Amino acid sequence: MNRISSKFSYSIFLTLTAKKYYFYLPIMIPALLLKTVLVGLIDSINQSTIAITIYLLSSSQPIRRTLFFFLGIIFSYSLSGLLVYLGLGGFFFEVVSFNHTFQAILGLIFGSIIFAIPFFNKQSKQQPRKYPDLSHPFISLFLGALLILGQIPITIPFLYLMQQLAHSIPLHDFWFFLFLFNALVTLPLWILLVGYSLFHEKARPFLQWVENFVNQNSTKLLNFGLYIFGFLILLDAISYLSGHPIFTYRGR
């Protein structure tokens, strides 16, 4: 009898857990997907990575060096994201314990900072670029890994996204979002690489046009993306604190 009761209780537990998980998926997944896509697109507007990609495609062994450069970028984002996820995941599980109000307050802080960044991120006058010696592919790998660190306009949205993922999903789901983010961040770079691979020397005028366009407009596009993303974060947090949440704050 006790054995039957135990099995019945366990089946009820699994059913309730599954219902809770799948009912919250329709709310959580679109919100996290939207944030991942927005942050990935914002971080892809990186004048430095695009300029170095074009430079590498104009050098000897362009495909090999460019691929190593991409791997460095992906490695840096992946390692940073995993470390932030594991650290924040432990913090939220042990300390915050699914406190959604605390999450909303974090949203206010991050949203305010992200919304304010464009006021200080002004278009600078273009100076002749000085590129490091990239004769060895591993130097390209190392440069790609270091390049994203310290760039505040793209680092803060990335940290916010990792904080959201750490609070919302388990590790096995985190890998999908990290893959999606890396794919979006490097999408413009892959387009340049594929274009060069297909057309080789004929692609140089296009690469030059892309470089000129990025030099003139990257800061404007980045600031526009930061305004939109910061506004959405603030709207989300304020709506929750006012009792009418747009996206429900949920924990793992």
**Is residue 180 over pLDDT 90?**
yes
Grade residue 177 by pLDDT with cuts at 50, 70 and 90. Answer: very high
Grade residue 24 by pLDDT with cuts at 50, 70 and 90. Answer: very low
Segment 14-32 shows an average pLDDT of 49
Segment 202-211 shows an average pLDDT of 87
Residue 23 is predicted with a pLDDT of 39
**Is residue 216 over pLDDT 90?**
no
Helix 100-120 / helix 152-168 crossing angle, nearest 10 deg:
170
Residue 6 is predicted with a pLDDT of 44
The pTM (predicted TM-score) of the whole model is 0.78
**Is residue 182 over pLDDT 90?**
yes
Q: How many distinct helices (H) and strands (E) make up the chain? A: 9, 0
Grade residue 123 by pLDDT with cuts at 50, 70 and 90. Answer: low
Q: For 105-109, 139-143, 159-163, which range has the lowest pLDDT when averaged over its residues?
A: 139-143
**Is residue 188 over pLDDT 50?**
yes
Residue 252 is predicted with a pLDDT of 47
| Type of residue numbered 120 | F
Segment 6-22 shows an average pLDDT of 39
Other CB atoms closer than 10 Å to residue 62's CB: what's the count?
18
Enumerate the domain spans of the chain. 28-241
What span, in angstroms and rounded, lies between the C-alpha atoms of 176 and 159?
17
Q: Backbone phi, then psi, for 97, in 5-degree steps?
A: 55, 60
Residue 187 is predicted with a pLDDT of 93
| Contact between residue 167 and residue 252 where contact means Cβ atoms under 8 Å apart | yes
**Is residue 75 over pLDDT 60?**
yes
Residue 88 is predicted with a pLDDT of 67
| Type of residue numbered 10 | Y
Residue 99 is predicted with a pLDDT of 61
Residue 3 is predicted with a pLDDT of 46
Residue 251 is predicted with a pLDDT of 46
Tokens for 194? 């594929």
What span, in angstroms and rounded, lies between the C-alpha atoms of 79 and 212?
32
* Stronger pLDDT, 1 or 196, i.e. the higher one: 196
Residue in 29, 145, 140 with CA at minimum distance from that of residue 78 = 145
Segment 127-146 shows an average pLDDT of 64
* Stronger pLDDT, 42 or 26, i.e. the higher one: 42
Q: What percentage of the chain exceeds 90 in pLDDT?
A: 15
**Is residue 185 over pLDDT 90?**
yes
Q: Burial-class residue 130 by CB neighbours within 10 Å (0-12, 13-18, 19+).
A: exposed
Which range of 87-101, 126-140, 159-173 scores highest in mean pLDDT? It is 159-173
